[in-house]
Amino acid sequence: MTTISHHLRLVHDRINAASLAAGRDPSSVRLLAVSKTFGADAVIDAVQAGQRAFGENYIAEGVEKIDALRRWQADETPRTGVATGTLEWHCIGPIQSNKTRLVAEHFDWAQSVDRLKIAQRLSEQRPPALAPLQVCLQVNIDGGVNKSGVAPGDALALAAEVARLPRLVLRGLMAIPEPAIDFVAACALHTCARALFDQINASGELAVPMDTLSLGMTADLEAAIRAGSTMVRVGTAIFGGR
């Protein structure tokens, strides 16, 4: 067993335990493996251990890895049985206007959409041959001054507009709360994101409700799962320190 496959096991154990402690079905929480700063070799290790969804922060680095993995799959599929096209790539880092085309052309999901202009460009630039881009709005849930993310008070209006764009599917909300001092404080922050998610879904503004609450990282995935996260984004606990 490689170190990465062992680490993936341990993370699944944590997800299972946290889900059961919260009275939830462990299969209601997806694991996004955050491979930023690690090379294609590390991603290949994780793929061979069964992981399929990967998150990247830096767009050019992500595109390079997406291409490398595509080449690897084309070469290895006959031998490994891992079919081309089964990997899912999530952009989780800041998206500047001049990077939207790369995201639209290469990624399956964009979780860090925080303004309408970026969403419009992603929709316009999504190639017709690809499925619509799956989108989460990044919410600045604790109001950190240096953080990206739409303000919670503006999230409903943005969600309503993004949901109408033709080449995007609004899947949910993503947040990166500041590190909290303990479990209770972490739960409180994540619960704010959950409340906003529920409020937007209950507003009647969306024709299709959101189904994804992307919350929780290596340090706080238990608290996020307690608060209702449906997708934890884990880097360090899988790939090691950066």
Ligand X SMILES: *Cc1c(COP(=O)(O)O)cnc(C)c1O
- Distance, in Å, from the CA atom of 89 to the CA atom of 85, rounded to the nearest integer, reads 10
Nearest distance from residue 109's CB to ligand X, in Å? Answer: 12
Question: Do the bridges between strand 30-34 and strand 133-139 make them parallel or antiparallel, or are there none, so unpaired?
Answer: unpaired
* Phi, psi (degrees; rounded to nearest 5) at 15: -65, -45
Element (H, E) at 66: helix 59-80
Per-residue binding string, ligand X, 193-232, x by CB under 6 A, is ------------------------xxx-------------
Q: How many residues bind ligand X (CB under 6 A)?
A: 12
Nearest distance from residue 218's CB to ligand X, in Å? Answer: 3
Among 5, 28, 57, 191, indicate the residue that binds ligand X (CB under 6 A).
Answer: 57
Nearest distance from residue 92's CB to ligand X, in Å? Answer: 4
Contacts of 64 (CB under 8 A, 6+ apart): 40
Nearer to ligand X, 34 or 159 (CB): 34
Site for ligand X contains 233 (CB under 6 A): yes
Nearest distance from residue 233's CB to ligand X, in Å? Answer: 4
The SS3 assignment for 174 reads: strand
Among 22, 44, 63, 92, indicate the residue that binds ligand X (CB under 6 A).
Answer: 92
Contacts of 239 (CB under 8 A, 6+ apart): 4, 7, 33, 34, 35, 38, 42, 46
Instruction: Please report, as residue ranges, which positions from 93 to 122 form the binding site for ligand X (by CB under 6 A).
Output: none
Nearest distance from residue 161's CB to ligand X, in Å? Answer: 23
Per-residue binding string, ligand X, 13-52, x by CB under 6 A, is ---------------------x-x----------------
Per-residue binding string, ligand X, 136-175, x by CB under 6 A, is ----------------------------------------
Q: Tell me the one-letter amino acid at 108.
A: D
Q: If phi over 0 gives left and psi between -120 and 50 gives alpha, with beta otherwise, what is residue 25?
A: beta
Nearer to ligand X, 149 or 152 (CB): 149
Contacts of 86 (CB under 8 A, 6+ apart): 52
Nearer to ligand X, 228 or 235 (CB): 235
- Distance, in Å, from the CA atom of 151 to the CA atom of 178, rounded to the nearest integer, reads 15
- Distance, in Å, from the CA atom of 127 to the CA atom of 40, rounded to the nearest integer, reads 25
Residues forming contacts to ligand X in the complex (CB under 6 A) are 34, 36, 57, 92, 176, 217-219, 233-236
